[in-house]
Amino acid sequence: MNHQPSPVDHISKILRTKPEQLALCMAQMENITGRKGVLEAILEENERYMQQARTLLRVHSIYGEDITDALEKVIAHDDKELFTFLGSPDLSDLTTTRVLQDKAYEVAGGRERGFFLKKEKARRMILETPPRAMIRGFAYRDAKELLEKESLEEIFAALRFIETREWMNMVFVKAYEKLTPADFEERPIELLVLPKKWLSLAETFLEKKYHNISHLKELGIIFIIPIQLDIVGETLRLFSLMLHYLHEVSFYSRLIKGYSNEADSFTLRLRSLIRGDVGAADNIGSAHEGRWLIVQRYLAKDDESDARLFVPHVNPEAIHWRKAERDLATAFRNYDAMRVSMFYDLDYVGDFFPSHKVGELLLSFDLVDNIMGLVKKEAMAKYLYHHQEALWNRIFSGFMGEERMEELILENIDKGYIDLTP
């Protein structure tokens, strides 16, 4: 007789963590909250949502490769529809990108205001710490001429991919050591498409980051490098990333605003935030201690075996993606030409399926995992980490609720972990 694995064993396998550690964590969370059956409820949802998705995909096969193919076809179709819906944007022609920017604000729920570095202070930082590579690249005399000829917002965005990591971390970082709460102000978040002239200087950045969009937490700017949207899935990837960063910048603005109430520690906490520090392994603790690590980055992108991935943790990145995917699903719910609405709340959904080739495959039904996989299909890249991090968040929120999870992350992010025991 075949026995079904227990909920702990089943979810531990998906998360690549030790069953005994997850079991200890669940016992502690049940003791703290009084809530039981969280893993059972998650697995029941998981099975129901996967079945609904397969029905919408019109795929009856139980094989992982066939389900993946069906997911790719839906995303490829919706990518083409979205490109048309956005007015066929050409990122090298700034006159065609306004629809892209306006629609991102609209889908994300409006253009939020945040607490960001004053632009005059940012200008002084450039004058006091001239970006040599950029000045040399444009053949300008000095930082003063650079600021006269180029946009401040574009300069700050381009620092990330023109100047060296050493210059950023050893030289320019000193400018941040002098910042105080008085150097910040309330203003709207900005979406910026860089002019085409920055493209040739962006190649190294694109290879390193795998996408052509990033953000400046301290300035409240999301910037796009104008590559051609000529890869299947690229428009959906770009637009979903825009939504993700709108939520992320707003999240970090709330943190910076909170830090401003404690002037003595403001600079130290701001620098840690901008670096995206993650708690060290010695902060992990034992599962029975009621401690959850806060992981600010997708560690699996750099090291799939990072020890912090296998212990109880929450990830704010997965919160921003959940909101972005909900935005997309809601915005196109009544748009018959697209089926992206089927991905609403599928971020933590996935499981093992039989394979035609290798025994079994772990599949993610998360939208961004599947978009990234389609864009990188020629490289045979497979993405699972968005789903796995979302599943850790789903476990935590199953006990504490989504709103309380986000509050606890905001309250404890500079410490690097959440302690739920007194």
* CB count in 10 Å sphere of residue 333: 12
Q: Which amino acid is at 353?
A: F
Sequential pLDDT tens for the chain (422 residues): 456 889 999 999 999 999 999 999 999 999 999 999 999 999 999 999 999 999 999 999 999 999 999 999 999 999 999 999 999 988 888 787 888 999 999 999 989 999 999 999 999 999 999 999 889 888 999 999 999 999 999 999 988 888 888 888 889 888 988 899 999 999 999 999 988 888 776 565 555 544 688 899 999 999 998 877 788 999 999 999 999 999 999 999 999 999 999 988 898 888 888 777 766 555 555 544 788 999 988 888 888 889 989 999 999 999 999 999 999 999 999 999 999 999 999 999 999 999 998 899 999 999 999 999 999 887 767 889 999 999 999 999 999 999 999 999 999 998 889 999 75
Q: Which candidate, 369, 327, 333, 330, places its Cα nearest to that of 350?
A: 369
Q: Is 171:247 a contact under the CB 8 Å cutoff?
A: no
Report how far residue 165's alpha carbon sits from residue 134's, in angstroms, rounded to the nearest whole number: 14
Name the helix (H) or strand (E) containing 52: helix 38-57
Q: 385-400 and 367-375 helices cross at what angle (nearest 10)?
A: 170
CA distances from 73 to 79, 232, 243, 326 (A): 10, 10, 23, 20
pLDDT of residue 279: 60
Q: Is 212:202 a contact under the CB 8 Å cutoff?
A: yes
Helix (H, G, I), strand (E, B) or coil at 357: coil
Q: Is 367:343 a contact under the CB 8 Å cutoff?
A: yes
pLDDT of residue 1: 42
pLDDT of residue 174: 87
Q: Is 415:408 a contact under the CB 8 Å cutoff?
A: no
pLDDT of residue 93: 81
Report how far residue 349's alpha carbon sits from residue 390's, in angstroms, rounded to the nearest whole number: 9
The pTM score is: 0.92
Q: Is 366:329 a contact under the CB 8 Å cutoff?
A: no
pLDDT of residue 374: 94
**Please, which residues have CB within 8 angstroms of residue 22's CB and are 6 or more apart in sequence?**
8, 11, 12, 15, 287, 312
Q: Is 210:147 a contact under the CB 8 Å cutoff?
A: no
Report how far residue 263's alpha carbon sits from residue 127's, in angstroms, rounded to the nearest whole number: 25
CA distances from 304 to 16, 301, 308, 388 (A): 10, 7, 10, 12
